């Protein structure tokens, strides 16, 4: 199989190159190494007792679930972005389509990995490694997490890249749909993708953070970190849509602007002739323009329904409430 025959993100391409189904690759290249590396790293560090009696053993199910989730979520993001890109290309003149080449490479993932792991590793060594462990032991038992983070960062890169492409779409010369066909002028798929991405992001953060508060890890930094990431989800949902918001606002202004001269002229004529002396056709024209103006006011200024942001905020605050509840439970010891 040549490189031209391979499709998808790096992990999908790895599965294709080795001739295994995706789900087998998830188990073979994802779950199995992670579950073996964690106990092996504790054993090599001389901390086997800490693995069995401490939090190491309790982390195994979490590592497995997050590995499976991030790999499947990454594939889902790739497919959804490709679908939206294909749709965007139907709104763009030939030769100016949306390209996704960076999504399939490893350069972006590598840069993201180095940047994020540096931050996460500091947080891990500072707050989650017991004080009785030496720095070397802390680094040794991090081996499994260095490998595990590859899958998390694959998802984060696909997520961030998709948000960037949504924002970039608003800068492209999109030929918007008529407002009589769609109140979002054909931009709803971009809003839907942003919502799906944000939901996947929030779920990933919840899967990682919530169980750890239950396992007794230092709650204050963990809850604070989780709450910040969760609340940031709302921002991440809105930011990539700003460029599309600008397009919708401008389109709405232009539609109103087209009718303004005609409407002004008819009103001026009505004032000149008087209501009683005006032609019936003048009233019909005014009523027609008024109807169109009311339809124009129905054009959305964001490519989603207003209720979506309310539901998203409710989900975020619900998860934050769970984090705080776990924190209080640990403090009050019940």
Residues 6 or more apart whose Cβ sits within 8 Å of residue 201: 159, 233, 236
Q: Tell me, yes or no, whether 181 lies in a domain.
A: no
Do 321 and 252 lie in one domain? The reply is yes
Concatenate the DSSP letters of all residues of 29-44 into one string.
Answer: IIIHHHHHHHHHHHHH
Do 156 and 105 lie in one domain? The reply is yes
Do 169 and 207 lie in one domain? The reply is no
| CA–CA separation, 307 and 50 (whole Å) | 48
Q: Tell me, yes or no, whether 144 lies in a domain.
A: yes
Tell me which residue range forms the domain holding 105. Answer: 1-175
Q: Tell me, yes or no, whether 311 lies in a domain.
A: yes
Do 113 and 134 lie in one domain? The reply is yes
Do 217 and 163 lie in one domain? The reply is no
Domain boundary among 175, 198, 232: 175
Do 157 and 16 lie in one domain? The reply is yes
Q: Tell me, yes or no, whether 182 lies in a domain.
A: no
Do 54 and 198 lie in one domain? The reply is no
| CA–CA separation, 212 and 200 (whole Å) | 19
pLDDT 10s digits, 1-39: 545 556 799 999 999 999 999 999 999 999 999 999 888
Dihedral of alpha carbons 204, 205, 206, 208, sign: positive
Do 122 and 161 lie in one domain? The reply is yes
8 Å CB contact between 249 and 301:
yes
| CA–CA separation, 148 and 157 (whole Å) | 15
pLDDT 10s digits, 92-151: 876 677 888 899 989 999 998 888 888 776 666 665 666 667 777 777 877 888 888 899
Domain boundary among 175, 210, 240: 175
Which ranges of the chain have pLDDT less than 70? 1-6, 54-55, 94-95, 121-132, 212-223, 270, 273-280, 282, 326-327, 329-334
Helix 188-214 and helix 143-169, axial crossing angle in degrees, nearest 10: 160
Do 163 and 296 lie in one domain? The reply is no
Do 55 and 113 lie in one domain? The reply is yes
Do 62 and 126 lie in one domain? The reply is yes
Domain total in the chain: 2
Do 48 and 161 lie in one domain? The reply is yes
């Amino acid at each position: 199989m040549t490189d031209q025959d391979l499709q998808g993100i790096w992990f999908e391409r790895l599965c294709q190159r080795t001739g295994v189904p995706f789900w087998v690759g998830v188990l073979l290249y994802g779950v199995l190494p992670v579950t073996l590396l964690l106990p092996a790293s504790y054993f090599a560090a001389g901390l086997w007792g800490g693995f069995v009696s401490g939090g190491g053993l309790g982390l195994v199910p979490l590592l497995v679930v997050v590995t499976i989730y991030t790999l499947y979520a990454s594939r889902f993001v790739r497919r959804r972005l490709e679908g939206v890109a294909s749709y965007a290309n139907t709104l763009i003149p030939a030769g100016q389509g949306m390209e996704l080449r960076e999504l399939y490479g490893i350069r972006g993932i590598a840069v993201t990995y180095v940047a994020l792991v540096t931050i996460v590793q500091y947080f891990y060594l500072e707050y989650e490694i017991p004080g009785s462990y030496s720095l070397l032991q802390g680094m040794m038992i991090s081996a499994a997490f260095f490998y595990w983070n590859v899958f998390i960062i694959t998802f984060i890169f696909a997520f961030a890249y998709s948000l960037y492409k949504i924002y970039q779409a608003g800068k492209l010369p999109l030929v918007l749909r008529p407002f009589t066909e769609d109140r979002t002028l054909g931009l709803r798929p971009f809003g839907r993708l942003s919502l799906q991405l944000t939901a996947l992001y929030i779920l990933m953060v919840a899967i990682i953070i919530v169980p750890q508060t239950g396992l007794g890890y230092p709650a204050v930094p963990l809850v604070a970190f989780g709450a910040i990431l969760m609340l940031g989800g709302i921002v991440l949902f809105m930011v990539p849509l700003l460029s599309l918001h600008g397009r919708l606002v401008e389109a709405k202004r232009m539609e109103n602007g087209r009718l303004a001269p005609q409407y002004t002229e008819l009103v001026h004529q009505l004032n000149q002739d008087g209501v009683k002396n005006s032609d019936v056709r003048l009233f019909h024209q005014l009523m027609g323009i008024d109807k169109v103006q009311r339809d124009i006011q129905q054009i959305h200024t964001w490519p989603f329904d207003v209720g979506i942001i309310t539901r998203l905020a409710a989900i975020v605050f619900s998860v934050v409430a769970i984090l705080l509840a776990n924190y209080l439970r640990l403090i009050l010891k019940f």
